[in-house]
Structure 1
Amino acid sequence: MALVDYSSSEGEEALELPLSLEQFLSDEKRFSAQQERLTSPQSNRVRSFPHVHGNWASCVFIPAPEDMSILFREIIDAVNPFLTECSSQFFSVEDPHLSLTKTWPILHHWIDGFARFVATVASENTRYSLVGAQICP
């Protein structure tokens, strides 16, 4: 027994836009431009959540040191000839970093306060260094 007795809407026809609203060309331009932004590739990245007006994509990350960025570029240059033979597409990251969080939406007017909060929390914790060991003999 179903909790709610709703009919399926799959067979229903889609509603058409009333003629009086079709005359708003400015809205048509605005919304079609927004749709293009959502579907066009931006730096070969895929959105992990839908675009909502007023939301900004946010994350916490540590930028890679310059010497690590150079190492990443050397590795990419070394394997690139092999990757070109693959059917998949590969893209290099312009600014290598270590992501500490997933990307999430945040309202624009919350960004400064959130950044101050993260800076405060980070400054109150003890710093330590990570050193990578040489893997090759």
Structure 2
Amino acid sequence: MSGLSYLCDYGDSEESETEESRITVKEKSKLPVPNLTKVTVCPPDSYCDDPRQHHGRLRTFPHIRGNWATLVYIKCPDESAILDLLCKIKFVFKTIDETCYPCDNLHISVTKTVVLKYHLITSFTTSLQEIISGIETFELGFDTIEVYTNEEKTRTFVALKADHLSRKFLLRIVEKVDNVLEDYNLPTFYKEPSFHMSILWWKGDLKDAILKHIDELNTILAQEKEVYKKFCIQKVDCKLGNKYYQFHLD
């Protein structure tokens, strides 16, 4: 047999052995199929936004995997101070047929609700920490009650409006946070923001009906010394989807 024949035979033998090895590896790597009959599986893309689960509230943008609804805000340090005022205000609106709801997580927004990609969360929160740590603590106070609607006119709010001195500190926070938002090509806050803490809300646009009671509401507020006290603000909060972050002021 020629040398070329030996080479060809060797090549065929090597290919055969390699193929046999692949088959052996595949057979060894097989794992038993897990029994999932008792496990409830929810497909990752089957999210259903059901307004019935949250008093008829509607999302302002659709739920998409990888997109995280993001809000930066000042949380009320003492919600118990608002409870008595809340009860008295609700009593004023007993003549309005539409149901009102107390707001949860009382806060003052310093950004709009924006959409952040998942892979940017770490760098975004790091940037917030850097700029917020240089802002000093301040005292937050309220002086009037105002009525607001959201941009879509799907909800109406009664809110406590921050006083003039508090506004100066809040504007500084917004300016700093806006710089971070611009770095990530996200919408910045309103040009002339009205800083407020919503405490009650209704479905739909009921602003005109509620404004008829505004003088009575502000009279009630003037009698609530607990609400007129100053709240010491020492941190800024951020909600990213189901994640919460806190950034301490200087």
Same fold, TM exceeding 0.5? Answer: yes
Bigger drift between 108-117 and 93-102 goes to: 108-117
Q: Distance in 2 between matches of 1:121 and 1:42?
A: 37
Secondary structure at the aligned position of 1:116 is classed as: helix
Choose from 44, 51, 62 the match for 1:50: 62
Q: Could you tell me which residue of structure 1 aligns to residue 75 of structure 2? A: 63
Q: Could you tell me which residue of structure 1 aligns to residue 205 of structure 2? A: none
**Cα–Cα, structure 1 residues 76 and 110, in superposed 2: closer, same or farther, change >3 Å?**
same
**Cα–Cα, structure 1 residues 74 and 40, in superposed 2: closer, same or farther, change >3 Å?**
same
Q: Where does structure 1 differ by over 6 angstroms across 4 or more consecutive aligned residues?
A: none
Q: Could you tell me which residue of structure 2 aligns to residue 4 of structure 1? A: none
- Which residue type is aligned with residue 61 of structure 2? F
Q: Could you tell me which residue of structure 1 aligns to residue 222 of structure 2? A: 136
Unmatched runs of 5 consecutive residues or more in structure 1: 1-28
**Cα–Cα, structure 1 residues 104 and 80, in superposed 2: closer, same or farther, change >3 Å?**
same
The TM-score, its normalising length taken from structure 1, stands at: 0.60
- 1:52-92, CA deviations, whole angstroms, 9 ceiling, x for partnerless residues? 221111110011011xx123221221122333431223211
Secondary structure at the aligned position of 1:124 is classed as: coil
> Aligned-pair distance for 1:98?
0.8
Choose from 40, 47, 59 the match for 2:51: 40
Q: Distance in 2 between matches of 1:39 and 1:32?
A: 15
Q: Could you tell me which residue of structure 2 aligns to residue 97 of structure 1? A: 107
The TM-score, its normalising length taken from structure 2, stands at: 0.36
> Aligned-pair distance for 1:103?
0.5
Secondary structure at the aligned position of 1:77 is classed as: helix
Q: Distance in 1 between matches of 2:75 and 2:54?
A: 18
Secondary structure at the aligned position of 2:119 is classed as: helix
> Aligned-pair distance for 1:42?
4.5
Q: Percent identity?
A: 22
Note the aligned Cα RMSD (angstroms): 2.9
- Which residue type is aligned with residue 98 of structure 1? I
